[in-house]
Chains A and B, each alone.
Chain A
Amino acid sequence: MHATYTMLILTAVFSAPIVLYILRARAGKGEIYIRPIAGLSAIDEAVGRATEMGRPVLYSTGLSWLSIEGLCSVAILSHVARLAAKYDLRIIVPVNSYLLYPIAEEAVREAYADAGKLDLFKAEDVIFIPGQFPYAAGVVGIMHRERVAATFFFGYFAAESLILAEAGSQVGAIQVAGTPDILQIPFFITACDYTIIGEEFYAATAYLTHEPTMIGSLRGQDIGKMILATLTVLLLVFGLLMAFAPNVFFSNWLLDLLLR
């Protein structure tokens, strides 16, 4: 499959503000305000609670593999593992994908190493569990056996999302979830204390690190959304024109152009 000209132009239009604002932010131009996201602020609270209870936290990457969701999940994992290492806390990370597993293990190891607590890192706590339902069964078992105090679900999830979130709810864990998958968002909203939805998932590392580069990227995303909203309104007008005046000369021409 190859891109159409329209796709190519749209990719450039949406990418340009992101790269532009990243470069501006790196050059230190302009202050950018980020509205707080409750779900991301709750990560610190959940780790703190687990520390007080002296019980481990569980971080699930779901069925994510070596994709953008998976890499974004590892970036958030890195932050959670750093917090866990800071408070001498154990973090259990079941990973479903064999491609993501070594990356997740490295992220957790590095978090403990950076905190100067490599002795607390247990390679066995980053567990490879292949298969969708074996993964669900395995994670539910870990939650009950280890009586985890907090659970984090970040990444791509399918039918197992509610099984995992309900199991976490049963053990009384404080739960934070984030997924770009629209079908699983309702399940997480129902069963978790905090849920990060849609683009917030991809923006999580920017919120967590407050790095100028990442914040610049967020501003670029917002510009992209404004362009998208404008395009939606324009195409709505175009759609109405097509419906009510199908013979207007430019409507067919524009449709042809967009599909080219």
Chain B
Amino acid sequence: MRRNIIIILTFVGGLYYFLEFVLPGETGISKLIVEIGKVTLAIGACAFLLGVINLLRLHGTRVVLRRSGWHNSAALIVALFVMLIVHLVRYYSHAAEGDTVWRIYNLLWDNMRVPLDSTIFSLLAFYIVSAAYRSFRIKSGEAAVMMAAAVVVMLGQIPTGQEVTLWLKGYENDPGLWWLSRIRVDTIREWLMQYWNGAAQRGILFGAAIGGLAMSLRIWLSLERGSFFDRQ
């Protein structure tokens, strides 16, 4: 019974969005899309509450049982409630920008949360170096080609690299040597990225698009078998 209800609801929901997309112009069903979106939002709000409950259960248990790292969990719970309260007060008090509640909010968000985000993001620079070191070791013919292409692309990406062959641009209008202006680092970079890399990316995208379509159809028509959705 439960399975049949889910199959019917999934099909009707999918059919609505499919028809809304394929029927031309503003049809009657298009007008309902905002209202139906609100239902999705309401379901999302319930799911969000589950997420918050999970966080409180996980970290609350750690604090209560004084497990290792419990102080981090306590900091998370305090931060969660402080941010929630400050945001609610700011929203419902209709405080003007510059008021105390706004300043506290800015302190917590712009001066704490945003720099913390940037800190984690900045780690990427170091990880890219170590990942690049591993990938660009020339262990085979293919690795050598990739290394050469990577050097050209990196040089072509930065102004200093572009400067190396910029003088070749002077031959652009020379009837005999015009081709020299085409073998600049930046033009080779563009050629590699736009044609070789672009073609490969599109190939992957084509396959992924059809794969996504197949997966959508299987879920919409409840044809998924042998996985989690088969049993729902």
Which residues of A does B touch, CB under 8 Å? Answer: 1-3, 7-8, 11, 14-15, 18-19, 22, 68-69, 71-72, 74-75, 77-79, 98-99, 101-102, 105-107, 110, 123-124, 126-128, 130-134, 136-137, 145, 159-160, 162-163, 165-166, 180, 182, 185, 187, 189-191, 197-203, 205, 208-214, 217-218, 220-221, 224-225, 228
Residue B210 CB within 8 A of the other chain: yes
**B54: nearest chain-A partner, CB-CB:** A128
Given contacts A123-B57, A124-B58, A133-B116, contact A228 B206 (CB under 8 A): yes
State the CA gap A227–B21 with chains docked (Å).
23
**A75: nearest chain-B partner, CB-CB:** B227
State the CA gap A13–B22 with chains docked (Å).
14
State the CA gap A134–B178 with chains docked (Å).
53
Partner of A107, one of B132, B221, B226, B228: B228
Which residues of B does A touch, CB under 8 Å? Answer: 21-25, 43-44, 47-48, 50-52, 54-55, 57-58, 61, 69, 116-117, 120-121, 123-124, 127-128, 130-132, 134-135, 201, 204-208, 210-219, 221, 223-229, 231
Total A-B residue contacts, Cβ distance less than 8 Å: 182
Q: Chain B residues near A2 (CB, 8 Å)?
A: 21-25
Given contacts A2-B22, A127-B58, A201-B208, contact A213 B223 (CB under 8 A): yes
Q: Would B217 and A19 count as touching, CB distance under 8 A?
A: yes
Q: Would A203 and B228 count as touching, CB distance under 8 A?
A: no
Q: Would B231 and A110 count as touching, CB distance under 8 A?
A: yes
Q: Would A75 and B228 count as touching, CB distance under 8 A?
A: yes
Given contacts A99-B47, A101-B51, A199-B210, contact A78 B227 (CB under 8 A): yes
Given contacts A124-B57, A214-B226, contact A130 B51 (CB under 8 A): yes
Given contacts A98-B50, A205-B226, contact A166 B130 (CB under 8 A): yes
